[in-house]
Amino acid sequence: MHKEKLYFECLYHRFWEQFKKHFNLYKATRLIDNKNRPGEFVKISKARYTLEKDYDYRSLIMAIMQVLEPIKIARGTKLYSELDEFTEILYVMKGVYEVGYSVNNNETYVMMKDKGTIGDYNLTFH
């Protein structure tokens, strides 16, 4: 428990507060027949796993915390090009960055600020 306290309250407190919604996992829901509409189902539970009550969830989050690698990226650095392969998720704690795309050699960018993620969609769905 001391190791967990060190990670969640000291080392990665700001990270956890900013990005904990990205790690929400919901417990399996049980479906039952809807008595008012035959053939439809009703969800019974919307309960989330919590660090306090769920040992396996806490162990998973601790394993993730232990492999985080804080980095500082120099201004003007191009992280990825359009067809690059994503092999990691970047959690932006502080700073400004641009996300864009290219069509017929015309590049379009949108400026983003703080509390963002880069690469999470690509790693999740591919």
| pLDDT of res. 1 | 60
Check: CB of residue 11 under 8 Å from CB of residue 3.
no
Residue that finishes a domain, picked among 14, 45, 66: 66
pLDDT at 91 over 80: yes
Place of tokens 């904990």: 20
Q: What is the pTM of this model?
A: 0.68
Report the C-alpha gap between 103 and 110 in whole angstroms: 15
- Report pLDDT for 25: 82
Per the prediction, the chain carries an average pLDDT of: 79
Q: Give the model confidence (pLDDT) of 42-57 as tens digits.
A: 566 667 888 888 889 8
Do 41 and 74 lie in one domain? The reply is no
Q: Which residue has the higher pLDDT, 94 or 35?
A: 94
SS3 (DSSP) at 61? helix
Query: pLDDT value at position 124?
Result: 62
Is 119 in the same domain as 106? yes
Is residue 91 exposed (0-12), middle (13-18) or buried (19+ Cβ within 10 Å)? middle
- Domain endpoint, select from 20, 38, 66: 66
pLDDT value for 125 = 55
Residue with the larger pLDDT of the pair 100 and 121: 100
Cα distances from 115 to residues 18, 46, 60, 80, 86, in angstroms, run 7, 26, 22, 18, 19
**Structural domain tally of the chain?**
2
Same domain, residue pair 6 and 62: yes
What are the tens digits of pLDDT across the range 30-86?
666 666 666 666 566 667 888 888 889 888 989 988 899 888 888 888 888 777 787
pLDDT at site 126: 47
The residue range of the domain holding 18 is 2-66
Residues 6+ apart with CB under 8 A from 64: 23
Comparing C-alpha atoms, which of 12, 14, 25 is closest to residue 114? 14
